[in-house]
A and B are shown apart, each in its own frame.
Chain A
Amino acid sequence: MTMAAANTIIDIEPAARMRTPNDSPLKIICLAPTLVWFGALFAVPLIALLWAGFWRVENYQTIITFSLENYEQVAANFFAKSRYGLALVQTFWVAITGGIFAVAFAYAVALAIVYAVPQRWQRLALLFAIAPFWSSYILRVYAWQTVLSKNGVVNSFLKMTGLDWARLDVIFTQTATRIGLVHYLAPILIVILYVTLTNIDRAVIEAARDLGSTRWQVFKKIILPLSGFGLTVAGSFAVIIGMGDALCGALLGGGAGQSIIGKVPLFASMLISDYASATNLPRTAALATILVLAMLLVMWASFAIGERVRKATAE
């Protein structure tokens, strides 16, 4: 081949590649709504929150400045009278344990849908399983209050049937918070885990059976390891949402609900009361920033774990 011929090929190739649809102005137009949406509803408020954390309040007047005073105050009181530290620990504790229950419950439901329900009924079963997703979250939390309260549905029923000794005493504890969280998270987690399970090749499961595995061994040695990534994703999702949730903690946990850690409010509940007292908005912003950072930490950790699990279970 001559030099000239080789050059022509090189000359033509990039020119032909430059005008792919990816480089057309259409791409920018198509992406614009997403950018506007993302910017207006996520980036701008987040930056405003971060910025507001550095403002100061003097004589009931907000001063736009750059000061670390709010953070210094919070740090000084972290384990003292305001118990911010304990609230953060309570948040981690409730979110992680609630997340574990939620993932376990959702995994059981997803397993049942994928492996126990006949193929043609699977989509319908999934639809039923995630039906609560379409009802209002606030309504659901109030409904749980009615169910779990001292003279609520469960306890009234137990009283009627003479099973009074078994009465539930969970309302306004963090247990009730977790129940609310599990119900809130379940539909999303079921979808994540359903997709994970349907992606496991049926032939691989049959191969394990053919090689002599009992059903339990198939679950333990095949399905569970191959669900690893999905379980990590679902778990981190549950923990992050659980950390940011204030409604269950307020309405079911009663603000400062009892847990192993004690009658300590969730960090998000504390934020709300801090905001409600409304004397120092910049300090609330600083507290919120701390929660955002804690969530980022969880996100980073779960990403790291997820990558390891994915690498260990992918081909």
Chain B
Amino acid sequence: MAVEPQSPYDLEIRNVSKRFGAATAVDDVSFKVGRGEFVAVMGPSGCGKTTLLRMMAGLEGMSAGRIYIRGRDVSAVPVNLRSTRLVWQNYALFPHLDVFGNIAFGLTLQPYDRPVVSGKVKRMAALVGLTEFLDRRVGQLSGGQKQRVGIARALVTEPEILLLDEPLSALDAHLRLRMQGELRRIQQQLGISFVYVTHNQIEAFSMADRVVVMNKGKIEQIDPPEIIYNFPKTRFVASFVGANNLFEGSVLSHDGAFTTVETREGRLSVLAGDTRPAIGEAVTVVVQADKLTRQPKGILGENTLKATLRGREYAGSQNIYLLDLPTGAEVKLVAQESMAVASRTALNAEVAVHFPAEAATIIGYHRRPPEAVADISEAAE
């Protein structure tokens, strides 16, 4: 039993802000990272995610707020004394040292025992798959190998939290996919919390336990990936994440389990959430691109809209259609079908698109699966 009071959280960010002159990069951000949790911080470039990460590492000072690591206030602890380690987008390896020297670097700053360091470096190299490369120069490595060195160099010092700043964005698509799997494996094997900054939702969704979506220095939503994807909390999240179609309108009526929203594109029927918006309230209806289907022309039933096909993209097993509505709004439709099917519809042809009421949600008024509720109350705490 530990004597000091143990916090159930590896990391706690409390009301942290960062201002650069008149600009606010991070605006009153708070969240917690549980023990051994993999949290992705996602947002467009300039949303403050990297600044937030640098503040966690101690590379950047805070304008306001506090940061706790396992219950200890580290707000005033300088970068070299923090138990966080950073993995860099462009690797930031030491060019004058070989792979062994790079990985061993953090262990050689205090008086050390050579065989102990060598053993740790070799074990870590084995974990990230670099055993045969220990005597290589950094310049002789590929991008993927360089980033493995970056990860090994950080992990060998046994940090309490690993911070990753877009670590895979300089790698090609295939390698990125492989590294995603490996990062997740390493994280689970070591049981260390990862805070992973990215602008790439595929990376965030495929690795993270929870995703923090940031915009303009503020947090928009903190939830597990499937909740973020299916139930975006704000308009920003809905437009940034996934391939969502958004319809603005006002609530017309509630009818049993369904809510009718009057939009410029027509009346849309939506399966109501746990709470309901007031009649007349301005709302946004979200329909994911893969929930839209094409309909035979002429039958314009519920949630069916006339549209003109403007573009097609073939992505292997699925086709992506871009369509214009009569109002000028653009909608995206994703269908799991062969390429041959797509060419049957000519460009600029009139079509109709449909979605079931169950597939649409109103932003802010979601149905939630029961297990997600606990997560939300914890994050909001």
Contact = CB atoms under 8 A, between A and B. Distances in A.
Interface of A: 201, 203-204, 206-214, 217, 221-222, 225-226, 228, 312-315
Contacts of A211: 80, 85, 105-106, 109, 153-154, 157
Interface stretch (B93-101, B274-282, B336-344): B93-101
A208 B139 CA distance: 18
Contacts of A225: 96
Contacts, number: 68
Contacts of B139: 314-315
B190 interface: no
B96 A209 contact: no
B86 interface: yes
Given A209-B59, A315-B137, A315-B138, A214 B80 contact: yes
B253 interface: no
B86 A212 contact: no
Nearest to A228: B96
A204 B59 contact: no
13 contacts: A203-B90, A203-B92, A206-B59, A206-B92, A209-B79, A209-B80, A211-B105, A211-B109, A212-B80, A212-B110, A217-B109, A313-B95, A315-B139
Contacts of B137: 315
Contacts of A206: 59, 79, 86, 92
A210 B96 contact: no
Interface string B59-80: 1000000000000000000011
Interface string B146-176: 0000000110010000000000000000000
B93 A204 contact: yes
Given A210-B79, A211-B154, A211-B157, A204 B106 contact: no
A209 B109 CA distance: 11
A203 B88 contact: yes
Given A209-B80, A214-B80, A204 B138 contact: no
A210 B80 contact: yes
B57 interface: yes
A213 B80 contact: yes
B92 A213 contact: no
